[in-house]
Amino acid sequence: MGNYESMDPKDIRELIRKQVITGSTAGMSKGYTQANLVILKKEHAFDFLLFCQRNPKPCPLLDVTEPGSFSPSLIAEGADIRKDIPKYRIYQDGVFTEEVADITEYWEDDMVGFLIGCSFTFETPLLESGIPVRHIEENCNVPMYKTNIPCQKAGMFEGPTVVSMRPMTPVDAIRAVQITSRFPAVHGAPIHIGDPSLIGIPDISKPDFGDAVTIKEGEIPVFWACGVTPQAVAMESKPSIMITHGPGCMFISDIKDEKFSVL
């Protein structure tokens, strides 16, 4: 991994395309933004684009391909979203049917790819400011929860906001608000701090997705809108076909994380 951490995104994508890299992309091409992927057919694309537009905190769009194009040219020249992610998941009528390493055979010429920001982008500056990130310390996935905060509906798409949670001291929480406010294009500031029950989370030790992490004495949970939201919402609407990245297997762009900061 030491090697992959300092490699150029383009070179990592090539190793993924050749299926040399087949698992999680966490930590690869450090400093470059990684993205979630949702692919839908054109008939759903306007509603989904509108959904993301209306819900920028959970659904920060980094790039959207032209209908039929598999090239996310704004964030990765020459990349191919059909091949450059280690694992894809195929959902048919809202049901997960298959995990594959290449979706060329599923690609249709009216498909649109949505590349959506992920919290990896703001975890780097948190760590650089000396704020410990628990799930990284505990080497597991970030805990994620469904909340009672509804997203703004758009056409066929609606549902609750999913949040990710990082426990920290109150002083670190204040600093984390400042740091992540600099990144409105990648989830931005937290949407809740403290009592989980206020946003409809009954038991903080039982996340809906990802893994539970330790909350130490004196720490408070800090909640950010999560990129899992648009996938969960799209799935609920049971489109005939939807393709996503596999968990932890992200698209690595050519854009530096810092490019997404406003200050």
Query: Interface with its own copies by CB under 8 A: which residues?
Result: 42, 45-46, 49-50, 52-54, 61, 64, 66-67, 74, 152, 154-155, 178, 181-182, 184-185, 188-189, 262-263
> Closest approach of Cβ 150 to its own copies, in Å?
13
> Closest approach of Cβ 252 to its own copies, in Å?
20
With tokens 């920001």, the residue in question is: 117
Which residues are CB-neighbours of 121 under 8 A, at least 6 positions away?
Answer: 33, 34, 183, 186, 257, 260
Task: Return d(Cα 156, Cα 194) in angstroms, integer.
Answer: 32
Residue 208 buriedness (CB in 10 A; 0-12 / 13-18 / 19+)? middle
> Closest approach of Cβ 263 to its own copies, in Å?
5
Residue 207 buriedness (CB in 10 A; 0-12 / 13-18 / 19+)? buried
Task: Return d(Cα 116, Cα 60) in angstroms, integer.
Answer: 6
Closer to its own copies by Cβ: residue 64 or 228: 64
Closer to its own copies by Cβ: residue 182 or 219: 182
Closer to its own copies by Cβ: residue 125 or 247: 125
User: For 42-105, where are the E strands, in sequence order?
Assistant: 61-64, 88-92, 95-100
> Closest approach of Cβ 261 to its own copies, in Å?
10
Q: Cα-flanking dihedrals φ and ψ of residue 21, to 5°?
A: -95, 125
Q: Amino acid letter at 199? A: I
Q: Cα-flanking dihedrals φ and ψ of residue 163, to 5°?
A: -120, 155
Closer to its own copies by Cβ: residue 75 or 213: 75
Closer to its own copies by Cβ: residue 115 or 249: 115
Closer to its own copies by Cβ: residue 67 or 247: 67
> Closest approach of Cβ 85 to its own copies, in Å?
21
> Closest approach of Cβ 36 to its own copies, in Å?
16
- Tell me the β-bridge partners of 160: 150
